[in-house]
Chains A and B, each alone.
Chain A
Amino acid sequence: MADERQVIVSVKNLKQYFNIGKPNMVKAVDDVSFDIYKGETFGLVGESGSGKSTTGRSIIRLYNPTDGHIYFNGQDISKIKSHGSKMKEFRREMQMIFQDPYASLNPRMKVKDIIAEGLDVHHLVKNDDERDKRVRELLDMVNLNPEHMTRYPYEFSGGQRQRIGIARALAVDPQFIIADEPISALDVSIQAQVVNLMQDIQKKQGLTYLFIAHDLSMVKYISDRIAVMYRGKIVELADSDEIYNNPLHPYTQSLLSAIPVPDPEIETKRTRIDFDHKRPFEDDQRLQEVLPGHFLYCNDEKAASFKNNK
């Protein structure tokens, strides 16, 4: 089934190291491969520091990947030059929504100028009237009052700011949006609002999302497929339901066991599964398809055991 769908982003053996050659070298992303299909929401989950943001930022080329390839609509964008015309084109196709609603908007710019930044860079509007009109449309799209476009960010709440950030990303009509923990800084009551908004927009505009989160609780509802990341590697990747019902990697199991359930009966019986963080990855392990559409980071022997069971 997966093969019929069109791949929009394909990451192949992506490596992103920092401080190369120095004692404090970090392998933030270490040989990661996955495909994202057009129109889906791809969840990327892992604890803080596991390299999720770095993966997102490499894909959108805020960093120059150390090694590997990133294909966007079939085109290798991992090596295009930072200031070339190819990059400028690419900048319109892929956008990002950030985590911290207080740091993601320039405090010294008006909302309309924040949202219109992409319009200005790519010359998408001819004059000021058209610019204002487009900004109004975008504010309307994210359910904010267009009259507020002359205000400054500090006059808005966290949820409202996050929606301004979404409007800014939408301004250039992207196909693919990386949302880096867009709701983790928000109150629980607002989280659903923002997620619903993102889903509405996805339906209307046919967007594809890479949705990054540090726990599975919200992601499992909104993602079609989920990749679990741990220390720079993807340890498990499968359909959302499959991950939820049939987690294979001990780390995934431990993440799932940490989600509280709003049911006291189950909650009293819930036990946390501990994951042994001291045990490093072994050399003979790699990400492989152990069940249809279900990838697991393991050695060949283990992978074979799944095949035999079937």
Chain B
Amino acid sequence: MEQIPQIPKEKFRLIHDENNKDQEKIGTPSLTYMQDVRRRLFKDKVAVVCLALISIIVVISILAPIIAPHNPNAQQVTMSNLPPKLGNLNIPGMNGYQNMGGHMVDAYKQADAPKGTFYILGTDYLGRDLLSRIIYGTRLSLVVAVLATLVDLLIGVPYGIVSGWKGGKTDTFMQRIVEIVSSIPNLIVVILMMIILKPGLTSIVIAIAITGWVTMARLVRAQTFQLKEQEYILAARTLGEPSMKIATKHLIPNLSSTIIIQTMFTIPNAIFFEAFLSFIGIGIPAPNASLGTLLSDGQKAFRFLPYQMWAPAIILSVIMIATNLLGDGLRDAFDPQSSEN
């Protein structure tokens, strides 16, 4: 056998045996988990910008009757299809000039618009002010989105948690209901609603409420199934934590990324669903505007009057992108480990 080299005894030294006792002191102030979440969210610049954008859009929508410069439904046929014009400032693209047969002509002069009349985003084919219609349309689309989200959170999440947590017969029964509901196409529900109710916001919202929560419920249930076998949940049970508390303290925080990501899908889906229904003519009835109806109107004249579609399309895109990025930020904010950047 090989000789092991002798190491002199003095070279050995007892390392502090109360290990870690004076490992680096940490500077993080003692905040609660939710305070930590907020702090992390506000550290994320992208999320803050998105939050600001969404807040602005929401505030404008709420204050629509005050902010909108014109009545969104008032027709003025003589003023139809006017291009955007912002005061008398000669901003290219916002100066009331329009390409007609290769020449730029002042459309406002042609329409005999009284001096000082201008529409910031132009008018549609019935001479309605587009800006006002977009403000009101955004408001309506946001209402649909908020209601769909509420349905997801208030029906889908608890349904999924209960189903996954209880398991067994309860779960089987609840999943049968989910299967039945999800096998009915949304469109059928809306059309059936239309027989009972008038076309409009109510029937759209009811259709979303009936069918919209299913995906969320399924995802939450699957995740709950995994989580409930986690040892920290078992530990909570051995400590005697009531089920309700386990749901709020342990399940929901750990379900948060699933919930947020699914909500990020729900919001655009709801807006598009409404847009689709309006597009095929069974959504929001004329003359009311929603982003969907504005897009479908604008799309018809897109080749010649592109501004009619650009404005609602940009707003819709901004809402989508902002909610998605905010969702990402929220998801990270809920995860303590992500603060380590």
Q: Report A's interface with B, CB cutoff 8 A.
A: 57, 60, 62, 83, 87-88, 91-92, 94-96, 98-100, 103-110, 112-114, 117-118, 121-122, 143-145, 147-148, 150-152, 154, 160, 165, 168-169, 172, 193
Contacts and interface: CB of A to CB of B under 8 A. Distances in A.
B234 A87 contact: no
A109 B249 contact: yes
B302 interface: no
Nearest to B243: A83
A165 B238 contact: no
18 contacts: A87-B240, A94-B238, A98-B234, A99-B231, A100-B231, A106-B253, A108-B256, A109-B253, A110-B32, A113-B33, A117-B235, A118-B239, A121-B239, A121-B241, A122-B240, A144-B20, A150-B26, A152-B336
A98 B231 contact: yes
A182 to B, nearest CB: 11
Give the most central of A91, A117, A147, A193: most B CB within 10 Å.
Answer: A117
B331 interface: no
A147 B27 CA distance: 10
A57 B250 CA distance: 20
Given A110-B33, A160-B20, A148 B238 contact: no
Contacts of B28: 150-151
Interface residues of B, number: 36
B97 interface: no
Contacts of B256: 108
A109 B337 CA distance: 11
B336 A108 contact: yes
A117 B23 contact: no
A172 B239 contact: yes
Nearest to B241: A121
Given A87-B240, A108-B253, A117-B241, A96 B235 contact: yes
B5 interface: no
A104 B235 contact: yes
B232 A103 contact: yes
B146 to A, nearest CB: 26
B232 to A, nearest CB: 4
Given A83-B242, A109-B33, A151-B26, 15 more contacts: A91-B240, A98-B235, A106-B253, A107-B254, A108-B335, A108-B336, A112-B30, A117-B236, A121-B242, A147-B25, A147-B26, A150-B28, A168-B235, A168-B239, A172-B239
Contacts of B334: 108
Nearest to B253: A108
A151 B287 CA distance: 57
Nearest to B28: A150
A98 B337 CA distance: 22
Give the most central of A83, A92, A107, A112: most B CB within 10 Å.
Answer: A107
Contacts of B25: 147
Contact of A96 (B22, B30, B234): B234
Give the most central of A100, A121, A122: most B CB within 10 Å.
Answer: A121
Contacts of B335: 107-108
A145 B22 contact: yes
Q: Which 8 A-B pairs have the closest CB atoms?
A: A91-B240, A104-B231, A98-B231, A108-B253, A152-B336, A106-B232, A118-B239, A150-B30
